[in-house]
Amino acid sequence: MAAGNFSLLDGFLLALATAVAFVMLRPAIRNASFWRAMVTPLASIIGSGFLVVVPLLASVAGPLAVVAIVGIVLLSFWLGAAIRFNIVHDGRNPPDEPDGAIQALEHFSDIALAFAYVISITFYIRLMCSFVLAGVHTHTDFNADILATGVLAFIGLYGWRRGLHGLERLEEYSVTIKLAIIASLLAGLIFFDVTHGFDLSGLPRPDKGVWEALRELGGMVLIVQGFETSKYLESSYDAPLRARSMHVAQVVAGVIYIAFVALCLPLMGPLARAVPSETAIIDLSATITLILPLMLVVAASMSQFSAAVADTIGAGGVVEKEARGRLAGQTSYPFITALAIGVVWTCNIFEVVALASRAFAFYYMLQALLAARLAYRLDDDRRQWRVGSYVVQATLLLAIALFAKPVAT
């Protein structure tokens, strides 16, 4: 454990987080259309996955954790390419030539995504409430359910009154705080690695077969889920802006995940021998300095909250899209969070989230098939390559949906 005295390093990390937050909250950045379009996918990608990626990779991949996270991030970029292709090219079919396959794929993928969003919103907020209540030593399942109900009701009513941009403002502040604290965490890890040496001798190789490890890594692809929210912001942002901002959000999140896992390697030894826990990163940070655990409690809460808001926005976009504009996403926010409240009181979230993970994989599979269909309709030199790439992607996602061990994130 870190010493109990506030050190110079603590002061530096606190000042760094404050400076990053100050820069990001400047009106020139906060009011920029590109940042506002980027904040929703970024909030969702760096959601609760950031809390569990290190302990999970420690147990699944051990010394090869960096290789594993690079593979997961690259696969997410490949999936993102299909979503961006659909964003840019979808809707260009002439009205007198309707494509039934495209319409069916869009409809069924939206249903799968809406189901997954309701579960993920519930999980994010319920986990956040458990985390906060445990921090003040008042956690019970009933207390967590009550607090989660209040938070979900607030999100739904606030979104109904303030609309998409009102929810985006909530996201901006929570994502800014989260990124500022992540910057301090990475700086603290760099200091620890430099002063203690990059020693991996205490990190054992997991006692797992190749097939079992691949199944678990397949489930962990969903840690970096969330970029698809850009597809459902069409009422506020045009297609090129949504595609570009989604790509940048994926790059930023990918760099953060890879850097975080790489810097944590010397600290993974105890995590590899323990049951993965969402609070393990807090305990790990306490070995570095006094201030980081306190900052990470805030970051964890902001992480869950912003991811839940992002998925609420995405779910509202799905509803608006399926209703063909007859029902605004703003109107649907209370209904979405009401469904989530129902899940809070009727289901075990850690069991149901496995279904949501498979629903996300199924959604991405349908989007890959949609991209293949759209690519086939384009008459250009890259048509054959694109179709083949998206079909392979859909096959891989089907395997993940059927055989992966989903991660509860």
Q: Give the model's pLDDT for residue 403.
A: 85
Percent of the chain's residues with pLDDT above 90? 28
Q: Give the model's pLDDT for residue 339.
A: 93
More confident of the two residues 278 and 18: 18
Read off the pLDDT of residues 314-362 as tens digits, 9 standing for 90 and up.
888 888 877 776 666 678 889 999 999 998 898 776 566 667 777 888 8
What is the C-alpha to C-alpha distance for residues 311 and 152, in angstroms, rounded to an integer? 12
Read off the pLDDT of residues 38-70 as tens digits, 9 standing for 90 and up.
988 888 888 767 777 888 888 888 889 999 999
Q: Give the model's pLDDT for residue 3.
A: 46
Q: Please answer whether residues 278 and 204 qualify as being in contact, where contact means their C-beta atoms are separated by less than 8 angstroms.
A: no
What is the C-alpha to C-alpha distance for residues 252 and 261, in angstroms, rounded to an integer? 14
Read off the pLDDT of residues 193-222 as tens digits, 9 standing for 90 and up.
998 888 787 788 877 778 888 888 887 777
Q: Which fold has domain 8-90+103-403?
A: Amino acid/polyamine transporter I (1.20.1740)
Q: Give the model's pLDDT for residue 112.
A: 84
Residue of 71, 367, 52, 370 whose CA lies nearest to 218: 71
Q: Tell me the pLDDT of the chain averaged across its residues.
A: 83
Cα 197 to the chain's mean position, in Å? 31
In this predicted structure, the answer to whether residue 81 has a pLDDT above a threshold of 90 is: yes
Residue spans of the domains in the chain: they are: 8-90+103-403
Question: CA gyration radius for the chain?
Answer: 21
What is the C-alpha to C-alpha distance for residues 380 and 376, in angstroms, rounded to an integer? 9
What does DSSP assign to residue 204?
Answer: P
Residue of 337, 281, 350 whose CA lies nearest to 141: 350
Burial 368-382, CB ≥16 within 10 A → b, else e? bbbbbbbbeeeeeee
Q: Give the model's pLDDT for residue 148.
A: 93
For the ranges 112-121, 215-224, 399-408, the lowest mean pLDDT is seen at 399-408
Q: Please answer whether residues 344 and 144 qualify as being in contact, where contact means their C-beta atoms are separated by less than 8 angstroms.
A: no
Read off the pLDDT of residues 360-380 as tens digits, 9 standing for 90 and up.
888 899 999 999 988 988 877
- Other C-beta atoms closer than 10 Å to the C-beta of 27 total 7
Q: Give the model's pLDDT for residue 255.
A: 95
